């Protein structure tokens, strides 16, 4: 499993997670796409870049991504999982839980495909700790008084406009 670590994810120097679990490769955003790490980059764009880069998951220390419409729609089109925490993390907790849950996340991904995983949890119970981005996006649209197709179309338009403005059309290859 390949996991992209978002810019805000702790990356202590000298820490070698492969020594604990060689089946998972963790790559910091700054190493994978320095041009995205140097400037403020929308999270949905990082999701699309991670998918294009062949990652299986994106790990973030951002509790809001699971409710961000653009991120949810990007996840609908990008075949990757999002790993986040229900509350902020420190470097030790983040890495300990990420390494500890990686085998369970990989198993759930093999069974059910990409999902949003919220850590920490005692178990990964369906509908509580992992769920489809589209199901979450549908709930969000309904709460906003929109249909899912309306919300999706608006999100795709916004993402395409931002990609065009940043001259990164290749990241939109998965968008309709």
Per-residue pLDDT of the chain (176 residues; tens, 9 = 90+): 999 999 888 877 788 888 888 999 999 999 999 999 999 999 999 999 999 999 999 999 887 888 899 999 999 999 999 999 887 777 788 888 999 999 999 999 999 999 999 986 544 566 667 889 999 999 999 999 999 999 999 999 999 999 999 999 999 999 99
Q: Decide: pTM greater than 0.95.
A: no
Helices (DSSP H) in the chain: which residue ranges? 29-32, 34-37, 43-52, 69-77, 91-112, 133-143, 148-165
Number of domains in the chain: 1
Query: Are 94 and 71 within 8 A, CB to CB?
Result: no
Domain boundaries, position 164: 2-172
């Amino acid at each position: 499993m390949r996991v992209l670590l978002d810019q805000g994810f702790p990356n202590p120097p000298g820490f070698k997670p492969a020594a604990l679990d060689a089946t998972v490769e963790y790559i910091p955003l700054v190493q994978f796409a320095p041009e995205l790490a140097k400037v403020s980059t929308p999270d949905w764009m990082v999701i699309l870049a991670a998918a294009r880069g062949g990652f299986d998951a994106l790990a973030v220390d951002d509790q809001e991504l699971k409710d961000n419409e653009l991120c949810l729609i990007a996840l609908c089109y990008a075949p990757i999982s999002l790993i986040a925490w229900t509350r902020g993390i420190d470097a030790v907790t983040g890495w300990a839980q990420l390494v500890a849950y990686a085998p369970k996340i990989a198993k759930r991904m093999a069974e059910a495909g990409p999902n949003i995983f919220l850590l920490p949890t005692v178990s990964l119970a369906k509908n509580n700790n992992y769920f489809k981005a589209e199901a979450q996006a549908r709930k969000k649209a309904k709460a906003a008084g929109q249909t899912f197709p309306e919300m999706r179309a608006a999100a795709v338009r916004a993402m395409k406009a931002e990609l065009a403005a940043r001259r990164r059309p290749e990241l939109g290859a998965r968008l309709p």
